[in-house]
């Protein structure tokens, strides 16, 4: 990236008309034009004849990219409000959509958190089977709401099965002290398995919290958030990394656990502050070459750090880079597409939703560019609140070109166990909103887009592999 810019700038600023340098610039422009025409012809040709597979997939993914509007009426300012909502907002200020969302007595409650009657039930769906309904309850094959918040997926090549790991928050929500964030005691990390990404079987709590020993990291009054699992092809082990904290979020550490099986049990190893720095919201990412990385919010959540993991994935190693400095981002969800690294992050507003941003980099260690809000459709408030949710993971869909699933949490701070999942199609393609950088007439970065749908499913012809 830097090289390209240097090249462009020096040729533009130091030439005088008629000089050999200007002649060179003309020649280069001609070459660039020819290349562009050739590329255009190639892609047109490409669409029509050469790649029937791509052609087949076009109509499949087009449906996912349809822009769907969403309307909701703000209720009149009068009406019953919970004292908690009034305290949060102050008595005078009219409620915003986010206030309504956070107010458990709001008339819009059922709009944001529809009740059990609309739950996705793998055994009762009939014609509606395989449809994702973002924000509606989602039941597992036992008929219970899935408990895998702040989670991520692992595709296990050995069993050709998807595993979904996340926080089990199926306990009472309370505040540890007045003014403290709403919380649920640590129950542990849940695991669900599926072969179609829609029907999920509960594999149980694969890393349980600790009931009695108050010196243990997983002691129930501490914090365990955002668990993610990757497989180490060299050691054959499944390695889990997670955010470990105390009730006041001052420990700010990462924890590591390991298992020989994707469905556990996982053995908890230890926690630490990576490279001595605070680590709160985090994720891990396994690259095509088998190297793995930890990404974490640090320095009071004002920046992210990316660190290599050791070959066995059980510890961090050098190098480490500070990225998005001063941008105050968290909830990182990282993925790779055609050799470029992408990341979706949220702002730092606790359980309250805020605007997502997409970032891209040619190297995982940066420099990372911020490209703007990936959310498309819904309405303005939906887009400014990531559809009232917060990023947690991006699932690659190798069978579908340029397509991924964006996984997010619609937190319900009044009843955290009833937080919902917002899964939406994410595609990479087209020019970005910002920064508009060009290379030989082509935008340097591709847009990351997350499309709102009230109801959607993966194309029928879709296969995992």
Residues of this chain that interact with ligand GAL (CB under 6 A) are 150, 181, 225-226, 281, 330-331, 348, 350-351, 390
395 backbone dihedrals φ, ψ, rounded to 5°:
-95, 120
Q: Which is nearer to ligand GAL, 99 or 330 (CB)?
A: 330
Task: Quote the Cα angle for 59-63-64, to 5°.
Answer: 120
Q: Which is nearer to ligand GAL, 150 or 425 (CB)?
A: 150
Beta bridge partners of 194: 162
Q: Which is nearer to ligand GAL, 226 or 359 (CB)?
A: 226
Q: Which is nearer to ligand GAL, 254 or 428 (CB)?
A: 254
Beta bridge partners of 253: 244
Q: Which is nearer to ligand GAL, 103 or 139 (CB)?
A: 103
Distance CA 447, CA 371 (A): 8
Give the pair of three-digit tokens for residue 368.
Answer: 């990372």
Q: Which is nearer to ligand GAL, 133 or 245 (CB)?
A: 245
CB of 349 to ligand GAL, least distance (A): 7
Distance CA 367, CA 335 (A): 16
CB of 356 to ligand GAL, least distance (A): 12
CB of 167 to ligand GAL, least distance (A): 8
Nearest C-alpha neighbor of 391 from the set 419, 364, 351, 356: 356
CB of 330 to ligand GAL, least distance (A): 5
CB of 218 to ligand GAL, least distance (A): 16
Beta bridge partners of 359: 343, 370
CB of 281 to ligand GAL, least distance (A): 5
CB of 214 to ligand GAL, least distance (A): 21
Q: Which is nearer to ligand GAL, 130 or 182 (CB)?
A: 182
Q: Which is nearer to ligand GAL, 384 or 458 (CB)?
A: 384
CB of 345 to ligand GAL, least distance (A): 10
Q: Which residues, including other chains, have CB under 8 Å from residue 277's CB and lie 6 or more apart?
A: 296, 298, 299, 305
Torsion over CA: 273, 279, 280, 283 (sign): negative
CB of 93 to ligand GAL, least distance (A): 22
Put residue 311 in one of left, alpha, beta given phi > 0 → left and psi -120 to 50 → alpha: alpha
Distance CA 64, CA 459 (A): 8
According to DSSP, residue 159 is labeled: T
Taking the CA of residue 340 as centre, how many other CA atoms within 13 Å lie in the half-sphere pointing to its CB? 19
Q: Which H or E run contains 11? A: helix 2-13
CB of 280 to ligand GAL, least distance (A): 7
Dmax (CA) for the chain in angstroms is 82
Q: Which is nearer to ligand GAL, 226 or 383 (CB)?
A: 226
CB of 181 to ligand GAL, least distance (A): 4
Q: Which residues, including other chains, have CB under 8 Å from residue 363's CB and lie 6 or more apart?
A: 341
Q: Which is nearer to ligand GAL, 222 or 263 (CB)?
A: 222
Q: Which is nearer to ligand GAL, 256 or 331 (CB)?
A: 331
Distance CA 137, CA 118 (A): 7
CB-CB contact of 415 with 115 (8 Å): no
Other Cβ atoms within 10 Å of 369 Cβ, number = 18
Q: Which is nearer to ligand GAL, 130 or 352 (CB)?
A: 352
Q: Which residues, including other chains, have CB under 8 Å from residue 125's CB and lie 6 or more apart?
A: 131
According to DSSP, residue 116 is labeled: G
Helix, strand, coil percent content, the chain, rounded in steps of 5: 20, 35, 45
CB of 411 to ligand GAL, least distance (A): 7
3-state secondary structure of 315: coil
331 backbone dihedrals φ, ψ, rounded to 5°:
50, 50
Task: Quote the Cα angle for 174-178-183, to 5°.
Answer: 25
């Amino acid at each position: 990236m830097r090289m390209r810019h240097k090249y462009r700038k020096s040729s533009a600023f130091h030439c005088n008309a008629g000089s050999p340098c200007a002649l060179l610039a003309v020649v280069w422009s001609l070459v660039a034009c020819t290349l562009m025409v050739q590329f255009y012809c190639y892609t047109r040709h490409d669409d029509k004849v050469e790649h029937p597979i791509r052609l087949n997939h076009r109509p499949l993914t087009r449906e996912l990219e349809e822009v769907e509007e969403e309307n909701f009426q703000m209720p009149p300012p009068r009406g019953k409000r919970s004292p908690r909502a009034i305290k949060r907002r102050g008595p005078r200020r009219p409620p915003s959509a986010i206030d309504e969302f956070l107010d458990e007595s709001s008339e819009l409650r059922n709009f944001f958190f529809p009740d059990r009657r609309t739950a996705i039930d793998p055994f009762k769906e009939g014609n509606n089977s395989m449809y994702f309904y973002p924000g509606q309850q989602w039941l597992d094959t036992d008929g219970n709401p899935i408990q895998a918040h702040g989670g991520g997926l692992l595709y296990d090549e050995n069993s050709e099965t998807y595993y979904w790991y996340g926080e089990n928050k199926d306990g009472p929500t309370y505040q540890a002290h007045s003014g403290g964030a709403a919380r649920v005691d640590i129950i542990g990390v849940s695991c669900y398995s599926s072969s179609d990404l829609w029907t999920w079987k509960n594999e149980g709590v694969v890393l349980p919290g600790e009931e009695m020993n108050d010196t243990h990291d997983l002691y129930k009054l501490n914090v365990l958030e955002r668990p993610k699992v990757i497989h180490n092809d060299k050691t054959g082990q499944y390695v889990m990394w997670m955010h470990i904290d105390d009730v006041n979020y001052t420990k700010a550490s990462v924890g590591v656990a390991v298992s020989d099986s994707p469905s556990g049990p996982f053995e908890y190893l230890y926690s630490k502050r990576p490279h001595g720095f605070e680590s709160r919201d985090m994720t891990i990412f396994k690259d095509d070459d088998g190297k793995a990385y930890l990404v974490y919010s640090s320095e009071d959540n004002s920046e992210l750090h990316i660190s290599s993991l050791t070959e066995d994935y059980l510890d961090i190693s050098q190098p480490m880079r500070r990225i998005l400095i001063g941008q105050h981002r968290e909830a990182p969800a990282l993925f790779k597409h055609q050799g470029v690294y992408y990341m979706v992050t949220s702002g730092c507003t606790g359980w309250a939703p805020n605007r997502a941003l997409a970032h891209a980099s040619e190297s995982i260690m940066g420099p990372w560019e911020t490209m703007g809000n990936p959310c498309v459709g819904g309405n303005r408030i939906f887009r400014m609140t990531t559809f009232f949710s917060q990023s947690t993971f991006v699932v690659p869909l190798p069978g579908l070109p340029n397509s991924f699933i964006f996984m997010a949490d619609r937190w319900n701070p009044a009843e955290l166990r009833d937080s919902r999942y917002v899964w939406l199609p994410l595609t990479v393609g087209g020019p970005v909103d910002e920064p508009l950088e060009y290379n030989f007439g082509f935008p340097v970065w591709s847009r990351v887009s997350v499309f709102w749908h009230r109801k959607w499913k993966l194309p029928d012809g879709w296969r995992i592999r």
